[in-house]
Structure 1
């Protein structure tokens, strides 16, 4: 079951410049600035206790990875508690779903709506 919208993923060419914009001009707070296996992500939010955050991803790196995601617009990351069951249920209903992938932040899979807009789901407790 999808529990909540956890993150809005924004794909940028210059993560540092984007982070400066969001923090210095928009007043957001950096929640995490992490790098793992050559992949860096900067998580920002309007305040420390916000339930939904923005994650700034390196568009250049993701283009090289050929994830199938549209990198031209932000995408949503949903958090799900019954992760594998949700993926199987969506596939049974004819939804286009991707493979489960182990990412530095946890297991994820993508799914597409009828217009081929892709969304991501990450396993959560």
Structure 2
């Protein structure tokens, strides 16, 4: 099922400013960057090339414009190497899961814990 804590979402007012902060002030490395939609990129930074867990720097204004409940997007993203199996097993275990989403950068679904907190489980295309 879940292999690791993969990503932690950080909502930022300016993605380039945040990227500069994490790369040039904190010393992180750029792990991945790809345009998601006009004015919004998927930017991942982490402590090193070897470290699996990353911060995803989401544009808060763009996410709010795209989806007014953007800040409700799960801030913890778990990773798996077998999304189909994890989805099926969680359903069998009675976990509330949302519909699977297939995007160019990975396949994912949201699920909720016993208190209704939302999380995301994702199988990344760029992670082997």
Tell me what 1:30 maps to.
Answer: 30
CA separation of 1:20/1:54 partners in 2, compared to 1, >3 Å: closer, same or farther? same
CA separation of 1:86/1:118 partners in 2, compared to 1, >3 Å: closer, same or farther? same
Residues 1-125 of structure 1 aligned to structure 2 (within 5 Å): 1-38=1-38, 39-63=40-64, 64-65=66-67, 70=72, 75-124=75-124
Moved more, 102-111 or 75-84: 75-84
In the superposition, the TM-score normalised over structure 1's length comes to 0.82
CA separation of 1:66/1:103 partners in 2, compared to 1, >3 Å: closer, same or farther? farther
In the superposition, the TM-score normalised over structure 2's length comes to 0.80
CA distances 1:83-124 after superposition (whole Å, capped 9, x unpaired) = 122112212322211110122311110111122221111125
The structural deviation recorded for 1:78 is: 1.5
Matched residue count: 123
Asked whether the equivalents of residues 69 and 118 of structure 1 are also in contact (C-alpha less than 8 Å), the reply is: no
User: Structure 2: which 5+ runs fail to align?
Assistant: none
The structural deviation recorded for 1:56 is: 0.6
User: Structure 1: which 5+ runs fail to align?
Assistant: none
CA RMSD between the two structures: 2.2
Name the CA distance, whole Å, in 1 between partners of 2:69 and 2:97.
Answer: 13
CA separation of 1:67/1:90 partners in 2, compared to 1, >3 Å: closer, same or farther? farther
Name the CA distance, whole Å, in 2 between partners of 1:116 and 1:79.
Answer: 20
